Structure 1
Amino acid sequence: MKFGARILKTGIAISLALFIAQLCKSPSPALAGISAIFAIQPSIYRSYLTILERAQGNVIGAVIAILFGLYIGNDFILIGVASIICVALLLKLKLENTIGLAVVTLVIIMDSPGNGFLETALIRFGTIMLGLVAAFIVNLIFIPPKYEVTLYQQIYTTNSEIMKWIKLNLRHAADFPLLKKDMNWMQNQMSQIRNQYDLFKEERSFRKKEMLAKSRKIAIYRQMILCSQKAIDLLKIQHRYENDYLLLAPLKQEQIRQQIDYLTDKHEQLLLTYIDKVAVDVDYVEDHLAQDPKELMDLFINELKLDDETRELDEYHLMRIIASIFAYQETVDYLEKLIHSFKLRHQEDNQIDISVTEE
């Protein structure tokens, strides 16, 4: 685990919750600190949803605890029975994420002394809710997250690694054990990128102009992720059918290599164009395709027409190689359309201040 903003915010939230609880002269300020631990989230929007969910769960737990404490009893067996009822009700209401804190609330309230049970229970419930509010305040104010910056840097770093292996594999210079290890790393990175994309997409804008720009950026980042995934798929196919690729005539190998080199270079250039590291092409026409894939299709058809019984090349494998190149080209071409449209048509909000490396 990497030390980051969420860990720091958890510590700040606990301290703030304890401070506010002591300021309110709560007899059990530690309850506010415990509550704050459950409520810290990686984004403001998720924090807002969490405080609503946790509040509902806490109210349910508190109500069950108070009803048991006032009318049935609060010995250890009854606390267990009340906990079962509480969990079952939360599952029925689809509030699974609140079970932990709700049961903690129930146990703490039912463990209140017999004299002045209701007053003590309400004070403890209020202290726990205080911790949720403190965590929300910390999420709202301290260390505002930079979702877009992190998302772009993760995409660029992962994409650079993918491009490196594709080019090495094309030139038969790849170390297979290391490539296999790196492909697992790439897939893990893609999972992290998708999680970061969800956080970026959930981030709310309040001005109409910002909302429009945000929706365009969401479409671009979604396509960036798809391009990277198609590049990984191409690398896997390339690696799996390398022997079939080597059985092609040298001229045909060169033709495939040139097409893939063109696509990887174009992909990297588009990522840099998005952050204004490469100038946008003002003469770009949206419906154009920069490189006609017809040559690759002709290569495949001509290979099928060859009447050579001694040929070892599997036509199905060649089809998989060509199809993966087409799929990659299609996603890169569409990314090009999105970025050029964003840069040329919406110049007021297309300035992206992002570095290609982590700060």
Structure 2
Amino acid sequence: MKFGARILKTGIAISLALFIAELFHSPSPSLAGISAIFAIQPSIYRSYRTILERAQGNVIGAIIAIVFGLYIGNDFILIGVASVLCVALLLQFKLENTVGLALVTLVIVMDSPGNDFLEIALIRFGTIMLGLVAAFIVNLIFIPPKYEVALFQQIYNTNNEIIKWIRLNLRHAADFPLLKKDMSWMQKQLTQIRNQYELYKEERTFLKRNSVSKARKIAIYRQMILCSQKAYELLKIQNRYENDYLQLEPTKQEVMRQQIDYLADKHEQLLLTYIDRVAIDAEYIEDHLAQDPKELMDLFLNEMKSDDPENNPDEYHLMRIIACVFAYQETLDYLEKLIHSFKIRHTDENKIDISVTDE
């Protein structure tokens, strides 16, 4: 775990919860701090959704605790029985994420002293709810991180690493132990990119014009991530079946190398086009998008056919490589359509202010 804004916000939320609890003269202000720990979230939307869910979970836990405390009892065995009942209800209402804090609420409320049980139980419940409110306030006050900027930069940096290794593999210059280590890093990066994409997608806009633009961007980023995944899969197939690639005649290797190089260059150019680092030629775009990729596939199949079966590489492995190349091309072609439509038809509201050099 890296030290970041969420860790800082957690500390501030705990302090604010304790302060508010002290302000209201709560006898157990630490309960508010505990509640705030459970409620802090990386975005305003998630914080809003969390406070609603956890409030429902806390109410269920508190009601069960009060009913048991008033009418059944609150010894350690009954606390366990009440906990089981609470979890069952939360699962029934699809509130699995609230189980932890709801059980904390239940145990604290049921553990209230016998005298004035109801009053103390309600005070403890209210103190826990103060912690949720404090965490939500902190998320509202603190400006959330720029998820779009972080998302694009992660995609761009990960793509650069993947494409670098694809080109090294094509020229038989890869250091395989280092490549294996980097492929593990790439896989982790792709997972982080998907998580960052979810945070960006959850961000809410208040103007209708911005919401339309945001919807287009979401579609583009989703396709960017798919393109990165296809490039990574191509790299894995390259590495796995390198010997089959080397068995091809030099001229046929060159055909494949040229096509993969073209796709890698195209991928880099599309990302730079999206952030307005590369200009768009509208006439070229329309002609280029009208090309039929079937002609290229026919060329590949003809080039890969060998008259000498003994020296021919494994056809299954060869087709795996070719299939990855064309899957990569297909996703890039669709990304190209999305980006060019975004840039040409909606120029006024779709300005992108992202730098690939910022950390």
Q: Same fold (TM over 0.5)?
A: yes
Which residue in 1 is equivalent to 2:89?
Answer: 89
Q: Look up the equivalent residue of 2:253 and give its one-letter code.
A: Q
Q: Secondary structure at the match of 1:310?
A: helix
Which residue in 1 is equivalent to 2:347?
Answer: 347
Deviations 1:82-136 (A, max 9, x none): 1121112212222111111111111111111111111111111111001001111
Q: Secondary structure at the match of 1:356?
A: coil
List 4+ stretches of structure 1 deviating above 4 A. Answer: 290-293
Residues 18 and 29 in structure 1, CA contact (< 8 A), matched pair in contact too = yes
Offset of residue 314 of structure 1: 1.7
Please show how residues 196-207 of structure 1 align to structure 2 within 5 Å.
Answer: 196-207=196-207
Please show how residues 252-271 of structure 1 align to structure 2 within 5 Å.
Answer: 252-271=252-271
Deviations 1:197-232 (A, max 9, x none): 111111111210010000000010011001111101
Residues 40 and 135 in structure 1, CA contact (< 8 A), matched pair in contact too = yes
Count matched residues.
358
Offset of residue 326 of structure 1: 1.1
Q: CA RMSD in A?
A: 1.6
Which residue in 2 is equivalent to 1:331?
Answer: 331
Offset of residue 249 of structure 1: 1.5
Offset of residue 162 of structure 1: 0.2
Q: Which of 211-220 and 284-293 deviates more? A: 284-293
Offset of residue 17 of structure 1: 0.7
Residues 18 and 33 in structure 1, CA contact (< 8 A), matched pair in contact too = yes
Q: Are residues 245 and 18 of structure 1, via their aligned partners in 2, closer, same or farther at CA, if it must alter by over 3 Å?
A: same
Deviations 1:147-178 (A, max 9, x none): 11111111011000001000000000001121
Matched, 1:112 2:112: yes
Residues 65 and 82 in structure 1, CA contact (< 8 A), matched pair in contact too = yes
Q: Look up the equivalent residue of 1:166 and give its one-letter code.
A: I
CA distance in 2, matches of 1:303, 1:92: 58
Deviations 1:298-335 (A, max 9, x none): 2422433x332422412222222222111111111111
Offset of residue 292 of structure 1: 6.5
Unmatched runs of 5 consecutive residues or more in structure 2: none
Residues 5 and 143 in structure 1, CA contact (< 8 A), matched pair in contact too = no
CA distance in 2, matches of 1:132, 1:141: 15
Which residue in 2 is equivalent to 1:308?
Answer: 308
Q: Look up the equivalent residue of 1:40 and give its one-letter code.
A: I
Q: Which of 95-104 and 274-283 deviates more? A: 274-283
Residues 41 and 47 in structure 2, CA contact (< 8 A), matched pair in contact too = yes
Q: Which of 139-148 and 12-21 deviates more? A: 139-148
Which residue in 2 is equivalent to 1:298?
Answer: 299
**Identity value in percent:** 79
Offset of residue 77 of structure 1: 2.0
Which residue in 1 is equivalent to 2:150?
Answer: 150
Offset of residue 285 of structure 1: 3.5
Q: Which of 2-11 and 142-151 deviates more? A: 142-151
CA distance in 2, matches of 1:332, 1:290: 14
Q: Look up the equivalent residue of 2:352 and give its one-letter code.
A: I
CA distance in 2, matches of 1:253, 1:291: 24
CA distance in 2, matches of 1:176, 1:235: 12
Q: Are residues 287 and 102 of structure 1, via their aligned partners in 2, closer, same or farther at CA, if it must alter by over 3 Å?
A: farther
Matched, 1:182 2:164: no
Matched, 1:133 2:133: yes
CA distance in 2, matches of 1:270, 1:299: 24
Q: Which of 160-169 and 284-293 deviates more? A: 284-293
CA distance in 2, matches of 1:196, 1:262: 29
CA distance in 2, matches of 1:110, 1:310: 79
Offset of residue 37 of structure 1: 0.3
Q: Look up the equivalent residue of 1:5 and give its one-letter code.
A: A
Please show how residues 193-272 of structure 1 align to structure 2 within 5 Å.
Answer: 193-272=193-272
Which residue in 2 is equivalent to 1:122?
Answer: 122
Q: Secondary structure at the match of 1:218?
A: helix
CA distance in 2, matches of 1:104, 1:351: 48
Matched, 1:43 2:35: no
CA distance in 1, matches of 2:355, 2:93: 45
Residues 286 and 337 in structure 1, CA contact (< 8 A), matched pair in contact too = no
Q: Are residues 292 and 92 of structure 1, via their aligned partners in 2, closer, same or farther at CA, if it must alter by over 3 Å?
A: closer
Which residue in 1 is equivalent to 2:55?
Answer: 55
Q: Which of 102-111 and 89-98 deviates more? A: 89-98
Residues 36 and 134 in structure 1, CA contact (< 8 A), matched pair in contact too = yes
CA distance in 1, matches of 2:347, 2:30: 52
Residues 300 and 319 in structure 1, CA contact (< 8 A), matched pair in contact too = no
CA distance in 1, matches of 2:32, 2:96: 21
Residues 12 and 138 in structure 2, CA contact (< 8 A), matched pair in contact too = yes
